[in-house]
Amino acid sequence: MDLSTSGFALLALVAVIVLLLIYIAAGSGKSKRNAILIVGRSGTGENKSVGKTALLKQLKNSEQPKYGLLPSLVVNSAEITVNGKPVRVMDVPGMVPSLLEDLLDRAKGIIFMVDSSEIRDHARRDAEILHDVLTQGSIMKEKIPMLIFCNKSDLIASSSPDVSLGIRDLRREGCGDAVKTYLERELQLIRSSAVNAVETAGGTKQKQKEFLGFEEEVFRFEHVPNKLTFASGSVIKGNIDPVQKFMAETTA
Ligand SMILES: Nc1nc2c(ncn2[C@@H]2O[C@H](COP(=O)(O)OP(=O)(O)OP(=O)(O)O)[C@@H](O)[C@H]2O)c(=O)[nH]1
Ligand SMILES: [Mg+2]
Protein backbone atom coordinates (compact mmCIF):
# COMPACT_ATOMS: atom_id res chain seq x y z
CA MET A 1 0.00 0.00 0.00
CA ASP A 2 1.58 3.30 -1.05
CA LEU A 3 1.37 6.45 1.00
CA SER A 4 -1.55 8.03 -0.91
CA THR A 5 -3.66 4.81 -0.69
CA SER A 6 -3.11 4.47 3.07
CA GLY A 7 -3.87 8.17 3.49
CA PHE A 8 -7.13 7.72 1.63
CA ALA A 9 -8.03 4.64 3.71
CA LEU A 10 -7.37 6.58 6.91
CA LEU A 11 -9.54 9.46 5.69
CA ALA A 12 -12.37 7.05 4.81
CA LEU A 13 -12.11 5.46 8.25
CA VAL A 14 -12.31 8.85 9.97
CA ALA A 15 -15.33 9.77 7.81
CA VAL A 16 -17.10 6.53 8.75
CA ILE A 17 -16.43 7.13 12.46
CA VAL A 18 -17.69 10.73 12.24
CA LEU A 19 -20.86 9.61 10.44
CA LEU A 20 -21.39 6.91 13.06
CA LEU A 21 -21.03 9.43 15.89
CA ILE A 22 -23.49 11.83 14.21
CA TYR A 23 -25.96 8.95 13.77
CA ILE A 24 -25.67 7.94 17.45
CA ALA A 25 -26.00 11.55 18.63
CA ALA A 26 -29.09 12.10 16.46
CA GLY A 27 -30.66 8.89 17.78
CA SER A 28 -30.07 9.77 21.41
CA GLY A 29 -31.63 13.20 20.89
CA LYS A 30 -34.94 11.74 19.79
CA SER A 31 -37.63 11.45 22.40
CA LYS A 32 -37.63 7.91 23.65
CA ARG A 33 -40.92 6.65 24.96
CA ASN A 34 -39.77 4.10 27.45
CA ALA A 35 -41.67 4.76 30.67
CA ILE A 36 -45.12 4.39 32.18
CA LEU A 37 -46.03 7.58 34.04
CA ILE A 38 -48.28 7.73 37.10
CA VAL A 39 -50.00 11.11 37.14
CA GLY A 40 -52.63 12.77 39.34
CA ARG A 41 -53.28 15.51 41.85
CA SER A 42 -51.67 15.99 45.21
CA GLY A 43 -53.59 16.78 48.38
CA THR A 44 -53.26 19.59 50.87
CA GLY A 45 -54.19 19.59 54.56
CA GLU A 46 -57.22 17.44 55.19
CA ASN A 47 -57.44 16.40 51.57
CA LYS A 48 -55.48 13.30 50.81
CA SER A 49 -53.55 12.77 47.60
CA VAL A 50 -54.70 10.21 45.09
CA GLY A 51 -52.12 7.49 45.88
CA LYS A 52 -49.45 7.56 43.14
CA THR A 53 -46.47 6.78 45.37
CA ALA A 54 -48.52 4.14 47.17
CA LEU A 55 -49.22 2.51 43.80
CA LEU A 56 -45.55 2.54 42.80
CA LYS A 57 -44.63 0.91 46.12
CA GLN A 58 -47.34 -1.67 45.66
CA LEU A 59 -46.09 -2.49 42.16
CA LYS A 60 -42.51 -2.74 43.37
CA ASN A 61 -42.73 -4.51 46.72
CA SER A 62 -46.41 -5.46 47.07
CA GLU A 63 -46.52 -3.57 50.37
CA GLN A 64 -47.01 -0.13 51.93
CA PRO A 65 -44.63 1.73 54.26
CA LYS A 66 -45.52 1.24 57.96
CA TYR A 67 -45.61 4.93 58.83
CA GLY A 68 -47.54 6.26 55.85
CA LEU A 69 -46.42 8.51 53.04
CA LEU A 70 -45.53 12.16 52.75
CA PRO A 71 -46.31 14.25 49.64
CA SER A 72 -43.58 13.67 47.08
CA LEU A 73 -41.41 16.52 45.85
CA VAL A 74 -39.30 14.55 43.40
CA VAL A 75 -40.06 11.98 40.74
CA ASN A 76 -39.99 8.44 42.12
CA SER A 77 -38.85 5.92 39.59
CA ALA A 78 -38.61 2.14 39.67
CA GLU A 79 -38.02 -0.75 37.33
CA ILE A 80 -40.93 -3.19 37.48
CA THR A 81 -40.91 -6.59 35.83
CA VAL A 82 -43.87 -7.04 33.52
CA ASN A 83 -44.18 -10.37 31.71
CA GLY A 84 -40.49 -11.02 32.38
CA LYS A 85 -39.43 -7.67 30.94
CA PRO A 86 -38.18 -4.64 32.91
CA VAL A 87 -40.43 -1.59 32.60
CA ARG A 88 -39.58 1.87 33.91
CA VAL A 89 -42.43 3.34 35.97
CA MET A 90 -42.32 6.96 37.13
CA ASP A 91 -44.51 8.58 39.77
CA VAL A 92 -44.78 12.32 39.06
CA PRO A 93 -45.37 14.44 42.21
CA GLY A 94 -48.64 16.35 42.09
CA MET A 95 -47.05 19.26 43.99
CA VAL A 96 -44.56 19.97 41.19
CA PRO A 97 -46.61 20.19 37.98
CA SER A 98 -43.66 21.63 36.05
CA LEU A 99 -41.98 18.21 36.14
CA LEU A 100 -44.83 16.69 34.19
CA GLU A 101 -44.36 18.54 30.91
CA ASP A 102 -40.88 17.17 30.14
CA LEU A 103 -41.69 13.69 31.34
CA LEU A 104 -44.66 13.43 29.00
CA ASP A 105 -42.17 12.99 26.15
CA ARG A 106 -41.06 9.74 27.76
CA ALA A 107 -44.54 8.34 28.25
CA LYS A 108 -45.27 5.04 26.58
CA GLY A 109 -48.44 4.86 28.64
CA ILE A 110 -50.05 6.97 31.35
CA ILE A 111 -51.81 5.86 34.52
CA PHE A 112 -53.99 8.79 35.53
CA MET A 113 -55.17 8.35 39.11
CA VAL A 114 -58.16 9.86 40.85
CA ASP A 115 -59.48 9.33 44.36
CA SER A 116 -62.94 8.02 43.62
CA SER A 117 -64.10 8.58 47.21
CA GLU A 118 -63.49 12.33 46.82
CA ILE A 119 -64.25 12.81 43.16
CA ARG A 120 -67.18 15.10 43.88
CA ASP A 121 -64.97 17.66 45.68
CA HIS A 122 -61.90 17.38 43.50
CA ALA A 123 -63.17 16.68 40.00
CA ARG A 124 -62.14 20.18 38.84
CA ARG A 125 -58.47 19.78 39.82
CA ASP A 126 -58.38 16.20 38.52
CA ALA A 127 -59.83 17.37 35.22
CA GLU A 128 -57.38 20.29 34.93
CA ILE A 129 -54.43 17.92 35.09
CA LEU A 130 -56.12 15.46 32.75
CA HIS A 131 -56.80 18.29 30.28
CA ASP A 132 -53.14 19.37 30.38
CA VAL A 133 -51.98 15.84 29.64
CA LEU A 134 -54.47 14.96 26.92
CA THR A 135 -54.03 18.23 25.01
CA GLN A 136 -50.25 18.02 24.94
CA GLY A 137 -49.60 17.75 21.19
CA SER A 138 -47.56 14.55 21.08
CA ILE A 139 -49.71 12.71 23.60
CA MET A 140 -52.78 13.20 21.43
CA LYS A 141 -51.04 12.82 18.05
CA GLU A 142 -49.19 9.66 19.05
CA LYS A 143 -52.33 8.36 20.77
CA ILE A 144 -50.50 7.41 23.95
CA PRO A 145 -52.77 4.99 25.83
CA MET A 146 -54.11 5.97 29.22
CA LEU A 147 -55.62 4.12 32.14
CA ILE A 148 -57.89 6.27 34.28
CA PHE A 149 -57.55 4.43 37.56
CA CYS A 150 -60.17 5.31 40.17
CA ASN A 151 -58.36 4.51 43.38
CA LYS A 152 -59.62 4.15 46.96
CA SER A 153 -62.69 2.13 46.06
CA ASP A 154 -62.46 0.86 49.66
CA LEU A 155 -63.56 4.30 50.91
CA ILE A 156 -66.63 4.85 48.74
CA ALA A 157 -69.82 5.00 50.75
CA SER A 158 -72.42 2.54 49.55
CA SER A 159 -74.64 5.28 48.21
CA SER A 160 -73.46 8.72 47.12
CA PRO A 161 -76.21 10.06 44.89
CA ASP A 162 -75.76 13.15 42.77
CA VAL A 163 -79.12 13.82 41.19
CA SER A 164 -77.93 16.71 39.00
CA LEU A 165 -75.63 14.32 37.14
CA GLY A 166 -77.93 11.32 37.19
CA ILE A 167 -75.60 9.45 39.54
CA ARG A 168 -77.60 7.21 41.88
CA ASP A 169 -74.98 5.12 43.60
CA LEU A 170 -71.29 5.93 43.19
CA ARG A 171 -70.19 2.62 44.63
CA ARG A 172 -72.29 0.59 42.25
CA GLU A 173 -71.74 2.77 39.20
CA GLY A 174 -68.04 3.12 39.99
CA CYS A 175 -65.36 4.46 37.75
CA GLY A 176 -66.89 3.54 34.44
CA ASP A 177 -69.94 5.76 34.81
CA ALA A 178 -69.90 8.04 37.84
CA VAL A 179 -66.27 9.25 37.78
CA LYS A 180 -66.40 9.49 34.01
CA THR A 181 -69.48 11.72 34.26
CA TYR A 182 -67.84 14.07 36.79
CA LEU A 183 -64.67 14.36 34.71
CA GLU A 184 -66.54 14.89 31.45
CA ARG A 185 -68.52 17.75 32.93
CA GLU A 186 -65.39 19.47 34.24
CA LEU A 187 -63.42 18.88 31.04
CA GLN A 188 -66.21 20.51 29.07
CA LEU A 189 -66.02 23.61 31.32
CA ILE A 190 -62.20 23.74 31.31
CA ARG A 191 -62.13 23.34 27.54
CA SER A 192 -64.38 26.37 27.03
CA SER A 193 -62.49 28.57 29.48
CA ALA A 194 -59.10 27.49 28.04
CA VAL A 195 -60.13 28.62 24.54
CA ASN A 196 -61.56 31.89 25.89
CA ALA A 197 -58.41 32.63 27.90
CA VAL A 198 -56.10 32.00 24.97
CA GLU A 199 -58.24 33.97 22.56
CA THR A 200 -58.38 36.93 24.91
CA ALA A 201 -54.63 36.78 25.45
CA GLY A 202 -53.39 36.57 21.91
CA GLY A 203 -56.02 35.57 19.39
CA THR A 204 -54.27 32.31 18.51
CA LYS A 205 -54.33 28.94 20.13
CA GLN A 206 -51.29 27.86 22.14
CA LYS A 207 -48.59 25.96 20.30
CA GLN A 208 -48.24 22.31 21.16
CA LYS A 209 -51.75 22.24 22.59
CA GLU A 210 -54.56 20.40 20.89
CA PHE A 211 -58.26 21.04 21.27
CA LEU A 212 -59.93 18.35 23.35
CA GLY A 213 -62.79 16.70 21.51
CA PHE A 214 -64.95 18.31 18.82
CA GLU A 215 -65.58 22.05 18.90
CA GLU A 216 -69.27 21.77 18.04
CA GLU A 217 -70.09 18.98 20.46
CA VAL A 218 -70.35 18.64 24.21
CA PHE A 219 -67.24 16.84 25.39
CA ARG A 220 -67.32 13.06 25.67
CA PHE A 221 -64.36 10.78 26.37
CA GLU A 222 -65.25 8.90 23.18
CA HIS A 223 -64.06 11.97 21.23
CA VAL A 224 -60.46 11.51 22.40
CA PRO A 225 -58.31 9.63 19.85
CA ASN A 226 -56.18 7.96 22.54
CA LYS A 227 -57.20 4.56 23.89
CA LEU A 228 -58.67 5.36 27.31
CA THR A 229 -59.52 2.64 29.81
CA PHE A 230 -61.49 3.29 33.00
CA ALA A 231 -61.06 0.98 35.97
CA SER A 232 -61.55 1.00 39.74
CA GLY A 233 -59.37 -0.44 42.45
CA SER A 234 -57.72 0.06 45.79
CA VAL A 235 -53.98 0.25 46.23
CA ILE A 236 -54.29 -0.24 49.99
CA LYS A 237 -56.28 -3.43 49.52
CA GLY A 238 -53.80 -4.65 46.91
CA ASN A 239 -56.49 -4.51 44.24
CA ILE A 240 -54.48 -3.21 41.32
CA ASP A 241 -55.18 -5.84 38.66
CA PRO A 242 -56.30 -3.25 36.06
CA VAL A 243 -52.95 -1.45 36.48
CA GLN A 244 -51.01 -4.63 35.88
CA LYS A 245 -53.16 -5.49 32.87
CA PHE A 246 -52.63 -2.01 31.40
CA MET A 247 -48.87 -2.23 31.92
CA ALA A 248 -48.70 -5.65 30.28
CA GLU A 249 -50.72 -4.44 27.26
CA THR A 250 -48.81 -1.19 26.89
CA THR A 251 -45.37 -2.74 27.01
CA ALA A 252 -46.12 -5.94 25.02
N1 LIG B 1 -58.01 4.18 51.89
C2 LIG B 1 -57.08 4.22 50.94
N3 LIG B 1 -56.02 5.03 51.08
C4 LIG B 1 -55.09 5.03 50.08
C5 LIG B 1 -55.20 4.21 48.94
N6 LIG B 1 -54.13 4.44 48.15
C7 LIG B 1 -53.38 5.38 48.78
N8 LIG B 1 -53.93 5.73 49.94
C9 LIG B 1 -53.44 6.73 50.90
O10 LIG B 1 -53.54 8.01 50.34
C11 LIG B 1 -52.51 8.87 50.86
C12 LIG B 1 -51.77 9.57 49.76
O13 LIG B 1 -51.02 8.60 49.03
P14 LIG B 1 -49.68 8.98 48.23
O15 LIG B 1 -49.28 7.75 47.48
O16 LIG B 1 -48.67 9.59 49.10
O17 LIG B 1 -50.24 10.09 47.22
P18 LIG B 1 -49.50 10.74 45.95
O19 LIG B 1 -50.49 10.66 44.84
O20 LIG B 1 -48.18 10.12 45.73
O21 LIG B 1 -49.35 12.26 46.38
P22 LIG B 1 -48.22 13.34 46.00
O23 LIG B 1 -46.90 12.70 46.23
O24 LIG B 1 -48.47 14.48 46.94
O25 LIG B 1 -48.44 13.76 44.58
C26 LIG B 1 -51.60 7.94 51.72
O27 LIG B 1 -51.96 8.13 53.06
C28 LIG B 1 -51.95 6.55 51.24
O29 LIG B 1 -51.75 5.57 52.23
C30 LIG B 1 -56.35 3.33 48.83
O31 LIG B 1 -56.55 2.58 47.89
N32 LIG B 1 -57.25 3.42 49.87
MG1 LIG C 1 -46.24 10.84 46.07
Report which protein residue has its CA nearest ligand 1's atom 9: 51
pLDDT in tens, 227-241: 999 999 999 999 999
Which percentage of the chain shows pLDDT scores above 70?
A: 81
Encode pLDDT of 100-114 as tens digits.
988 999 999 999 999
Q: What residues line ligand 1, using a CB cutoff of 6 Å? A: 40, 42, 48-54, 68-69, 71-72, 93-95, 151-152, 154-155, 234-236
Taking the domain 34-251, which CATH number applies?
A: 3.40.50.300
CA-based nearest residue to 126, from 185, 194, 56: 185
CB 92 within 8 A of CB 38: yes
**Where are the domains positioned within the chain?**
1-30, 34-251
User: What's phi and psi for 62, nearest 5 deg?
Assistant: 55, 30
Closest residue to atom 10 of ligand 1, CA basis: 51
Q: What is the mean predicted confidence (pLDDT) over 199-226? A: 77
Q: Name the residue with the closest Cα to ligand 1, atom 2.
A: 152
Q: Which ligand is nearest to the CA of 49?
A: 1
- Whether 123 contacts 131, CB under 8 Å: no
In tens, the pLDDT along 107-138 reads 999 999 999 888 888 999 999 999 999 999 89
CA R_g for the chain: 23
Find the ligand nearest to 95 CA.
1
SS3 state at 246 = helix
